[in-house]
Structures are given as structure tokens and as C-alpha cells.
Amino acid sequence: MPRRHAGQRPATIIDVAREAGVSFKTVSRVLNGESNVREQTRERVMNAVKALDYRTNHNARNLRARQSRIICLLHANPSRNYVGEVHLGALQRCQAEGYSLITEDYSANTREVLALRSGTRLAGAILTPPLSDDQDLIGLLQQQQVPFVRIAPSETGTPGRDVAIDDRAAAREMTEYLIGLGHERIGFMRGTVADSQAGARFEGYKDALETAGIAFDPALVVNGNFTFDSGVTGAEQLLDVSDRPTAIFASNDDMAAGVIAACYRRGIQIPQQLSVAGFDDTPLAATISPSLTTIYQPSRELASEAIGLLLEEIASPSETPNRHLLGYRMVPRDSTAPPGG
């Protein structure tokens, strides 16, 4: 007889993945009939599906009266590369789960957009940074009883589920890498000040300097807003410092690309005369020249996991903060080298 879950809620694809000991992506591949799955793995997944009665419960949920199949992805991030990756990850997961995805840019007026969507019955919403910490938006969603999951919020005091990486640890690792190459004058380009991820990455940068015994120099820190143009402007400021840095670590790839463009205009060779590093590992990082050393943030996976967590939230609302951390990795490429090349 199929097993039931706490609260007698229907099984989700996450439950199947945990039961089978595989990733939710593998479960999706098996359920979609894809061929690139080992037979032993396929058998484990199908046994878990049967044990948890996944298909029966899932179909029954689909047939519930007034059950919405629409999820809204809310963003206000100026980086099109980041938003594109998150959108793709959410869209692929929604398609695998039988949901439709709509996206809304909330950078202008939150209340107007919510009013526009008031006639659309939403199954739930995904909040991307910096909206993940927008208390007005969170309050409106709670008032309208719309389940939501946040990506990379600054704190977990709000009841419900969220998903993130350890931005502080990742930035610390990148800064340690640059220090290991021999750099001591390391410029840092922050993202939007109000963005919790930008703050965490800045703290990681300072952590690495302190551990290495390198004095923090405020002259080597500039503010950006995660755009290419702000990267160009910030680079011009850092390159005008009398004792200019030998490396610049930007809080995302868009700004790092702006640094490379500014150096090109000045005839500064990368990495021979200046090392440049970014954060996110968007497709831009591998296509610009020189290719960009960066931190791989699994943006697609974060969005996909957020959709899965949202389905869990819909089935069984969490009354306490519940955070899920995904991994990251550093990706060394051609834009970094020891000082002097």
C-alpha cells in the first residue's frame, strides 16, 4: 500500500527524489521518458513513484476544483543575464511539473503590478533578489494568500521556504584565490547596496583580507548596481586611484565585463596588468575575451529548486523559516594571473 506523508499531503517530485536517492532532475528525466538514465536508476525512481503513489496523487491534485496552474516569477534585477538564467530554470521546472510560468518586472511599482494580476488566480510566486527582502511585497502576497518562495533573502525570519547559496563564503573563496595568486591591492565592486547578496559578498571579501592580514582600504571599494555601465564607471574610479589595484573583483559578471571594457579603452592588458573576477558564471563569462574567472552560482538550479519548494509550500505551508542551501564553485579562466602576468 502506498505510503503517505506528514499531514497526509500528496507526494511531490522532491519526495520521489529523496526516496530514490537521486536529484529531482533525474526524476524529471525518468518521468519524461528520456533515454540518458541508467536502467538501475530508472528502476529506483519508478519504485519510489509507486511506493509514494506520486502519479495518482499528482493527478488528483491537478483535478481539484479551482486549482490554479499558474506560477509568477517576480524580478527587479537589472542584470538580464541573471534574470534570463533564473527564468529558464523556473520555466523548465514548471513545464516538468505541468504548470505555466508568467514573469513580471517589479522594479517600477509593486502595487500596480499586483493590481494588474489581481484577476489572475496564481498557484504561487517566486521572489528573486532584491524582491526577496521587500517586506511590502511579502505583506501583499500574504494578504492575498498567495504562497511564495524566496531566492536568496538576507534573513530567514519570514515563515516559509527559501533557497540560496552561501554568497559570503563564495566571495571569500574568490578573494582568497586572488590573494593566493599574489595580489594584495584588490579592488572590490559592490552590487546594489540594498541587495542582500551584494552585502554578503562584500563581507566575504573583507573576511578574506582580514584572514590574510591585509588591511582593508575603503579607496579600493566602489558601488555599482549589477549593470555593465556601472562596471565601466566603477572601473574608471578604481583605475584612477594613485596606488591602483592589481586585481578587481566585481560582484557579478555584468560589472566585471564593464571592467574589462574600461581596461580595453585605456590599453590595460588583462590579466598581464590587471586581473578581473566576477560572480554568477552567466553565459557572458565564457564568451567575452579574455574569458572571465568567476563564481558559478547555480541560478537555473536555484529557480528550479524554488519551484519545487513552492509546490511543497502549496501542499503543506511551512509555519517556520525553512532554508535550502545549494552549492557553488569557483571557475578560474583567462582573466586572472599573478601580478605582472
Residue 90 has pLDDT above 50, yes or no: yes
Select, from the ranges 61-65, 198-202, 258-262, the one with the highest average predicted confidence (pLDDT): 258-262
* CA 41 to centroid of chain Cα atoms: 28
Give the residue, 11 or 269, on which the prediction is more confident: 269
Distances 318 to 59, 156, 217, 314 between C-alpha atoms, Å? 23, 12, 43, 9
Q: Is the model's pLDDT at 253 over the cut of 90?
A: yes
320 or 109, which is more confident: 320
Whole-number Å distance between alpha carbons of 13 and 61: 13
Residue whose entry in the numeric block shows the C-alpha cell 511590502: 136
pLDDT of residue 269 exceeding 60, the answer is yes
Angle (CA) 110-115-121 rounded to 5° is 115
Residue 2 has pLDDT above 70, yes or no: no
Q: In the numeric block, which cell numbers belong to residue 78?
A: 537589472
Please state, for a pLDDT cut of 70, what percent of the chain lies above it.
87
Whole-angstrom CA distances from 179 to 107, 160, 209, 214, 235 are: 37, 39, 8, 9, 20
Please state at what angle helix 39-52 crosses helix 54-62, rounded to 10 degrees: 60
What's the confidence (pLDDT) of residue 169?
97
How far from the centroid of its chain's Cα atoms is residue 270's Cα? 28
Where residue 262 falls among pLDDT bands split at 50, 70, 90? very high
CA-nearest of 166, 147, 141 to 297 is 166
Q: 317: cis peptide before it, omega within 30°?
A: no
Reported residue count of the chain is 341
Q: Which of residues 238 and 51 earns the better pLDDT score? A: 238
pLDDT, position 117: 52
Most confident of 29-33, 178-182, 296-300: 178-182
Dist CA 130 CA 166 (whole Å): 16
Per-residue pLDDT at 6 exceeds 80: no
- 71 against 37, higher pLDDT: 71
- Give the model's pLDDT for residue 65: 32
For the stretch 308-322, what's the b/e string if a residue is b when 16 or more beta carbons lie within 10 angstroms of its beta carbon?
bbbbbbbbeeeeeeb
pLDDT, mean of residues 28-56: 76
pLDDT of residue 237: 97
The per-residue pLDDT of the chain, averaged, comes to 86
Confidence at 329, pLDDT banded by 50, 70, 90: very high
| Cβ contacts of 272 within 8 Å, gap of 6 or more | 337, 340, 341
Name residues whose C-beta falls within 8 Å of residue 64's C-beta, 6 or more positions apart in sequence.
none
Could you tell me if 104 and 75 are in contact, meaning their C-beta atoms sit under 8 angstroms apart? yes
Q: Is 240 exposed, middle or buried (0-12, 13-18, 19+ CB in 10 A)?
A: exposed
The structural domains of the chain, ordered by start, are: 6-62 (1.10.260.40), 70-165+298-327 (3.40.50.2300), 167-297 (3.40.50.2300)
**Which residues does 227 contact at the CB level (< 8 Å), separation at least 6?**
78, 79, 254, 255, 258
* pLDDT tens figures, 181-224: 999 999 999 988 778 888 999 999 999 999 999 999 999 999 99
Q: With cut-offs at 50, 70 and 90, classify the pLDDT of residue 7.
A: very low
Q: What whole-number distance in Å separates Cα of residue 207 and Cα of residue 179?
A: 12
Indicate yes or no: pTM above 0.85. Answer: no
Phi and psi, residue 138, nearest 5°: -60, -45
Q: What's the confidence (pLDDT) of residue 143?
A: 81
Q: Is 105 helix (H, G, I), strand (E, B) or coil?
A: strand
When mean pLDDT is compared across 79-93, 117-131, 206-220, 291-305, the lowest value belongs to 117-131
47's torsion region: left (phi>0), alpha (psi -120 to 50) or beta? alpha
- What pLDDT score does 114 carry? 55
Q: What is the pLDDT of residue 66?
A: 46
pLDDT bucket at 158, cuts 50 / 70 / 90: confident
More confident of the two residues 207 and 157: 207
Q: Is the pLDDT of residue 9 over 90?
A: no
